[in-house]
């Protein structure tokens, strides 16, 4: 009887997952709940390892704006940037055994452009609890 109830619950969950998949705009391919649960568990394990060794490196360059470019010449009417014109930055992952504080101090001594790099620890926001139905386990 207990097995029957469990089987029924699994079938209901599978049906719900299929309904969510059918309504989803990102239809990649059919998937099953077990794969989605396994994918979520793997991601949690992977992200825990990353939380302790991620840095943000910000590059010292002036921000370029539409107004700044228009100030170059009175004939300039419109300005379009192909990519963001904001300050450039990147994320880096350190080796497992790296001393984060020492690495930050050393990186902040690196000359780049018109200044030195600005480095900070990447703060990880807590992810909301995702349900298996909300993800595509194959991507």
> Which domains does the chain show, CATH number per domain?
1-24+31-51 (no CATH), 53-122 (3.30.70)
For residue 21, pLDDT over 60 is answered with no
pLDDT digits (tens, 9 = 90+) for 38-73: 877 777 676 665 556 889 999 888 778 889 889 999
For residue 20, pLDDT over 60 is answered with no
Q: Is 65 strand, coil or helix?
A: coil
d(CA 133, CA 18): 8
pLDDT at residue 109, rounded to an integer: 95
pLDDT at residue 123, rounded to an integer: 76
The whole-chain average pLDDT of the chain stands at: 76
End-to-end CA distance of the chain: 37
What percent of the chain is predicted at pLDDT more than 70?
Answer: 59
């Amino acid at each position: 009887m207990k097995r029957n109830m469990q089987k029924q619950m699994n079938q209901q969950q599978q049906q719900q997952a299929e309904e969510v998949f059918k309504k989803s705009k990102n239809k990649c391919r059919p998937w099953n709940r077990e794969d989605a649960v396994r994918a979520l568990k793997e991601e949690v394990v992977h992200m825990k390892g990353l939380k302790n060794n991620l840095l943000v490196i910000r590059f010292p360059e002036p921000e370029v704006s539409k107004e700044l470019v228009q100030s170059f010449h009175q004939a300039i009417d419109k300005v379009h940037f192909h990519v963001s014109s904001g300050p450039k930055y990147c994320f880096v992952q350190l080796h497992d055994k790296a001393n984060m504080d020492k690495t930050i101090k050393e990186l902040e001594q690196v000359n780049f452009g018109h200044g030195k790099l600005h480095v900070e620890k990447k703060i990880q926001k807590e992810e909301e609890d995702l349900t298996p139905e909300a993800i595509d386990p194959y991507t």
